[in-house]
A and B are shown apart, each in its own frame.
Chain A
Amino acid sequence: MKRVFAFIAFFITMMSAALQPMNSFAENNSDSTNIPAESRLAITYLCGSDSVILTATLSIKKGDNTLALENAPIEFTASNGTICKLLGKAKTDQEGIAVVKVVSAGLPGDKDGMVAYVAKFAGTGKYPGAEASLNAKPAKIRLFFSIEDSLRILKVTATQKNEKGEEVAIPKETVLIYVPRLFSLLKIGEIALDETGTGTLEFPKEIVGDTLGNLVVVAKIEEHDKFGFVQGKNVINWGVHKQYYKAEVPSRELWTPIAPLWMIITLLVMLAGVWAHYMYAVYELVMIKRLSKKDKPLF
């Protein structure tokens, strides 16, 4: 089958957008230059367990500049050639990204179950319209955790629906296993599925979870000709407990807001010593002044 999917995973989109920081401008911005603008729209797709996420990235090429278009309405549709279903509308953000999430049940599919997704920017007076599309068949990945012979085992199954609507296995595919991190997904392993669409992985021990050791585990089929990006998720407390720092640092170090005690004590002792002597000297001066007043009547 020809390569019908022109997409990349959403996180890659996010990062590539970050790689080439684009200046965004609001759609209603006025600009006086007469260079013709070219609208570019890209669509990416991610199939979850019971829903589909579509992301469209809109940018405007003007001369040598590529800028993300903000606030532009994007229309998402799904079709099987005969039925065309409106999935939703979304406005682009500062990076020109619009996202919709739809329930996968009821998506119009052809006899193979393929759905054609279209993202459309109708265009405005200033910027021409643009369209992007991709085809994918919904699929499902499930994750199961078990302990066998004191080994932590992650089992993954991948299924698709046949013509009758029954779930059947997706055999012989590669599933990548990740844990989500602050900025990206950390890959922890790969599973090759057997004929029954099942595969297992001994779960690594040293993965850090949250402060209670909980881990989200993501299993993904990526860039598949037929299924595109498919993802399944589950949670398990097999992680190493994350170290938790309290926001307030009560310690007394050289670099903390509060000084070490010995430092304060030393300083106070020294200051008290010196100023006490000053006070004594001033006291003597005051006494000298007083003595002169006492003496005065004598003169």
Chain B
Amino acid sequence: MELQQKNPLKEFAPQLEQTSIQGYAWIIFLLAVIGLGVYAFLQQVFHGHEVTGMRDNVVWGVYIVNFIFFMGISYAGALISGTLHLFKTAWRKPVIRMAEFITVISLLIGPCFILLCIGRLDRLPYLVLFGRIQSPITWDVIAISTDIFGCFIFLYLAVLRDLATLRDYELLRLPNWRKKLYKTLALGYTGTPEQQQRLNRATDIMAAMVISIAIIVYSVLAWIFSVTLQPGWHSTIFGPYFVIAAVYSGSAVLILAMWVFRRVYHLEAYITKKHFVAVGVIMLVLAAFFGYFTFSDYLTKWYGSEKNDELLIQLLFKEFYWPFIISNYVGVLLPLLVVGIARFRTITNITLTAIVVVISLWLNRYIIVVPTLESPYLPIQDARPEWLNYSATWVEWSLTAAGVAVFCLLFTLASKFITIIPVSGIEGEEKKEDVLI
């Protein structure tokens, strides 16, 4: 009852109740991009994987890059929201829901990209029916499905109070089915002390769980590469390196989401510069770690200069010069400068930096995957240019765009279902002024 009276939901209700024309146009645009992706996918199904730029040497291309990228964002969401929750960071409230959404949504999209790599989708059940425990792909199947479960439980625990608030807020102008849905999902949570206690306990445990699973899952993903003997992949540092890169990219995506929702839903009062700087500092720390890992990885390869490592580094500095410079220099140094120097720390600057970081992290995965496959132990001796060098086709780019579109669409729809900023107190003992901001 108390919740209802002091309900800040009044302010957020329009976000759930109505969609503007621009909003509809945005959704239609996203659907169109997804439609193109569906068309590209059908091309691939009916004409074989030949429609992609992948060939016998570069057997994995943009799809696997997207897979790593989306999984990375997801684990980042889990790590950030989990950590912020566990450490009861004061400023977390306006951004934590976004981080949770990022986790779950990108976790649904990521695996779709690895499915696009698979030659025989009709045999997908074999992964379960004939799974071999020794294969890192089996580890990945187990780990990702475990992670999806965990993240859904964590998200559900996190939104339960809001669902109860939405159920109890009678002024909400929403169709009946929505109200019924809120009622069912709210599980009859009324905020009794015992309910609160149980909810807090479960949330704490799940926050710890999603953090540890995020680390395991992203390491498993890295091991898909590092268990092979390929030069450039066969590295012990890959597990932690991938985890750091993932969280790093995720922090940047979180900043982008903050900026977008701040603008679209006019949340200037709630998401302030303070939040941008706070997440920006997380990004800065991660940038430093990321730069450190990248440097150690390439330094040892360069210094030891094993024949194939040397060839790989030559390739990186020749054919992949710009992606290499952007991802490993610009992508590392820019956040250090922009967030590090107080004068540059504006919302716009931090957001622009986040865009650069997202792009450079995507490129980072690209130059991890493709150049290694282009420089195997036995030199590629082939007359066909597409066999020598990988370049993604329109099919792969369309599906990549579709992946981003699905991400945006699901994020949009999620923000229409639950407020993008938690409207109810997270801890019962929390002070009222802490509820917002």
Does A249 belong to the interface (CB within 8 Å)? no
**CB proximity to B under 8 Å, residues A247-299:** 254-255, 257, 259-260, 263-264, 267, 270-271, 274-275, 277-278, 280-282, 284-285, 287-289, 291-293, 295-296
A289 touches B187 (CB 8 A): yes
- Indicate which residue in A259, A264, A288, A296 contacts B198 across the interface (CB closer than 8 Å): A288
B146 touches A255 (CB 8 A): no
Given contacts A267-B133, A270-B216, A271-B146, contact A288 B209 (CB under 8 A): no
Most chain A beta-carbon neighbours within 10 Å: one of B133, B149, B194: B133
A264 to B132, CA, bound (A): 10
**CB proximity to A under 8 Å, residues B125-160:** 132-134, 139, 142, 146, 149-150, 153, 156-157, 160
B198 touches A287 (CB 8 A): yes
A263 touches B194 (CB 8 A): no
Does B202 belong to the interface (CB within 8 Å)? yes
By beta carbon, the residue of chain B nearest A296 is B188
By beta carbon, the residue of chain A nearest B216 is A270
B157 touches A281 (CB 8 A): yes
List the A side residues contacting B202 at CB < 8 Å.
280-281, 284-285
A288 to B132, CA, bound (A): 39
A293 touches B188 (CB 8 A): yes
- Indicate which residue in B192, B201, B216 contacts A284 across the interface (CB closer than 8 Å): B201
B134 touches A255 (CB 8 A): yes
B205 touches A281 (CB 8 A): yes
List the A side residues contacting B187 at CB < 8 Å.
285, 288-289, 292
List the A side residues contacting B189 at CB < 8 Å.
288, 292
- Indicate which residue in A263, A288, A296 contacts B133 across the interface (CB closer than 8 Å): A263
**CB proximity to A under 8 Å, residues B85-133:** 132-133
Looking at the assembled complex, report how far the CB atom of B298 sits from the nearest CB atom of chain A, in whole angstroms: 29
List the B side residues contacting A264 at CB < 8 Å.
133
A289 to B184, CA, bound (A): 10
Does B258 belong to the interface (CB within 8 Å)? no
Question: SS class of chain A's interface: helix, strand, loop or mixed?
Answer: helix
A277 to B139, CA, bound (A): 19
By beta carbon, the residue of chain B nearest A284 is B202
B157 touches A285 (CB 8 A): yes
**CB proximity to B under 8 Å, residues A3-43:** none
Does B246 belong to the interface (CB within 8 Å)? no
Does B73 belong to the interface (CB within 8 Å)? no
A267 to B157, CA, bound (A): 27
Question: SS class of chain B's interface: helix, strand, loop or mixed?
Answer: helix
List the A side residues contacting B190 at CB < 8 Å.
292, 295
- Number of A positions contacting B (CB below 8 A): 27
By beta carbon, the residue of chain A nearest B212 is A274
| Interface 0/1 of B179-209, CB less than 8 Å to A | 0000000011110101100110110011011
Looking at the assembled complex, report how far the CB atom of A11 sits from the nearest CB atom of chain B, in whole angstroms: 36
List the A side residues contacting B410 at CB < 8 Å.
none
List the B side residues contacting A278 at CB < 8 Å.
149-150, 153, 206, 209
List the B side residues contacting A288 at CB < 8 Å.
160, 187-189, 195, 198-199
Looking at the assembled complex, report how far the CB atom of B123 sits from the nearest CB atom of chain A, in whole angstroms: 18
A284 to B188, CA, bound (A): 13
By beta carbon, the residue of chain B nearest A264 is B133
Given contacts A259-B133, A259-B134, A292-B187, contact A284 B198 (CB under 8 A): yes
A295 to B192, CA, bound (A): 9
B192 touches A271 (CB 8 A): no
Does B279 belong to the interface (CB within 8 Å)? no
Given contacts A264-B133, A267-B133, contact A280 B205 (CB under 8 A): yes
List the A side residues contacting B188 at CB < 8 Å.
288-289, 291-293, 295-296
- Indicate which residue in A254, A275, A289, A291 contacts B146 across the interface (CB closer than 8 Å): A275
A274 touches B213 (CB 8 A): yes
B153 touches A282 (CB 8 A): yes
By beta carbon, the residue of chain B nearest A288 is B195
List the A side residues contacting B209 at CB < 8 Å.
274, 277-278, 281
Looking at the assembled complex, report how far the CB atom of A103 sits from the nearest CB atom of chain B, in whole angstroms: 56
Looking at the assembled complex, report how far the CB atom of A158 sits from the nearest CB atom of chain B, in whole angstroms: 53
- Indicate which residue in A257, A282, A292 contacts B132 across the interface (CB closer than 8 Å): A257
A174 to B281, CA, bound (A): 91
List the B side residues contacting A267 at CB < 8 Å.
133, 139, 142
A281 touches B153 (CB 8 A): yes
Looking at the assembled complex, report how far the CB atom of B430 sits from the nearest CB atom of chain A, in whole angstroms: 19
A291 to B38, CA, bound (A): 46
Looking at the assembled complex, report how far the CB atom of B198 sits from the nearest CB atom of chain A, in whole angstroms: 5
By beta carbon, the residue of chain B nearest A270 is B216
| Interface 0/1 of B205-232, CB less than 8 Å to A | 1101100110010000000000000000
A131 to B198, CA, bound (A): 98
- Indicate which residue in B134, B195, B206, B212 contacts A281 across the interface (CB closer than 8 Å): B206
A160 to B160, CA, bound (A): 103
List the B side residues contacting A291 at CB < 8 Å.
188, 192, 194-195, 198
List the A side residues contacting B199 at CB < 8 Å.
284, 288
B198 touches A274 (CB 8 A): no
A280 to B199, CA, bound (A): 11
Looking at the assembled complex, report how far the CB atom of B360 sits from the nearest CB atom of chain A, in whole angstroms: 33
Looking at the assembled complex, report how far the CB atom of B221 sits from the nearest CB atom of chain A, in whole angstroms: 16
List the A side residues contacting B192 at CB < 8 Å.
291, 295
By beta carbon, the residue of chain B nearest A282 is B153
By beta carbon, the residue of chain A nearest B198 is A284
Pairs A-B, 5 closest by C-beta atoms: A292-B188, A284-B202, A259-B133, A281-B202, A289-B187
- 16 examples of A-B residue contacts, CB within 8 angstroms: A257-B132, A259-B132, A263-B133, A267-B139, A274-B146, A274-B209, A280-B202, A284-B198, A285-B157, A287-B198, A291-B194, A291-B195, A292-B187, A292-B195, A293-B188, A296-B188
Q: A270-B216, A278-B153, A288-B187 are in contact. List 15 more A-B contacts (CB 8 A).
A: A259-B133, A259-B134, A260-B134, A277-B209, A280-B202, A281-B153, A282-B153, A285-B157, A287-B198, A288-B188, A291-B188, A291-B194, A292-B189, A295-B190, A295-B192
